[in-house]
Amino acid sequence: MRIRRRRVMTFLATAMLLASSVGLTSQARADDVSDARTMIETTCTQLLGVINSSQGDAQKQAAMQQLVRGAVDVDGVARFVLGRFWRVATPAQQQDYMQTFRQLLVYAVTGQAASFQGAKFTMGQAAMRDAGIVVDTDVTVPGKPEAQVQWVVATVGGKPKIIDILAEGTSLRLTERNDYAGVISQHGGQVQPLLDAMHHQLARFQSNAS
């Protein structure tokens, strides 16, 4: 009798512990989701604020660069994009890749800025999905149909960071990964030709910018 009671007690205690921990994690998740949504709202407001401001191009670029570094998990995206070839690369190549990728990402964002002149956005829902927390926004640019942009957010180093952007259902980081893998596979699985192509592209962007 006593053994049975003890068993029941243990069972109940475990169940309560489990239930409370489930409650805690779901609360933590709800907090993460609302944090992510707030972060996207702030970032979009700031980004469009910079794009639609009357500052000079150089100032805009510097402001956007700072925004991107603060809001995007740049290193995580870089690792995702190189994927399985990260392990093929030598430590020197890895370092070179990270450095070049960071610079290219800024040009990728600032290059898009002109086409978002006058854009407005409305916040949609945010929800936990397989890829991370997905925050929906609708972006309207004058003279163009409304576009659905989804932001994938993950907690990196205790802070919500953007890890992917889905434009009308196409993932930017996945497209980028396939792009880079295309270069590597066209060159017999070597990482160096990709780095050369990245350097070449960066030089082109820098000469266009100056």
Partner 1 sequence: MTSRFWAAGLMAAVLMTGLAGCATKPPASDPEALAAYKQNDDPLEPMNRKLYAVNNALDTYAMKPVAQGYAYVVPRTVRNHVGNVLDNLHTPVVFINDILEAKSRRAGDSLMRFVVNSTLGVAGIFDFATGMGWPSHEADFGITLALWGVGTGPFLYLPVLGPSDPRDAAGFGVGVVSDPFFWVGQGAIVSDLGYARTTLTIVNTRADLLKPIDEVKRMALDPYATFRSLYRQHREAAIQAARDDNRHTIPAWFPQPAAAPAGQN
| Residue from 10, 26, 27, 178 binding partner 1 (CB under 8 A) | 178
Residue 197 in contact with partner 1, rule: CB under 8 A: yes
Residue ranges in 117-156 that form contacts with partner 1 under rule CB under 8 A: 143
Residue 130 vs 168, nearer CB to partner 1: 168
| Rounded Cα gap, residues 178 and 162, in angstroms | 20
Residue 186 in contact with partner 1, rule: CB under 8 A: yes
Residue 158 vs 188, nearer CB to partner 1: 188
Residue ranges in 59-88 that form contacts with partner 1 under rule CB under 8 A: 84
* Kind and range of the H or E run holding 140: strand 133-140
Give least dist CB 130 to partner 1, A: 13
Which of helix, strand or coil describes residue 134?
Answer: strand
| Rounded Cα gap, residues 47 and 68, in angstroms | 9
| Rounded Cα gap, residues 26 and 128, in angstroms | 11
Residue 81 burial (CB < 10 Å; 0-12/13-18/19+)?
buried
Residue 79 vs 155, nearer CB to partner 1: 79
Residue 143 vs 158, nearer CB to partner 1: 143
For residues 132 and 116, is the Cβ–Cβ distance under 8 A? no
| Contact string 89-118 vs partner 1 (x = CB under 8 A) | -------------------x--xx--x---
DSSP 136: E
| Residue from 48, 164, 180, 191 binding partner 1 (CB under 8 A) | 180
106 Cβ neighbours under 8 A, 6+ residues apart = 61, 64, 65, 68
* Residue ranges that bind partner 1, judged by CB under 8 A: 84, 108, 111-112, 115, 143, 168-171, 174-175, 178-183, 185-186, 189, 194, 197-198, 201
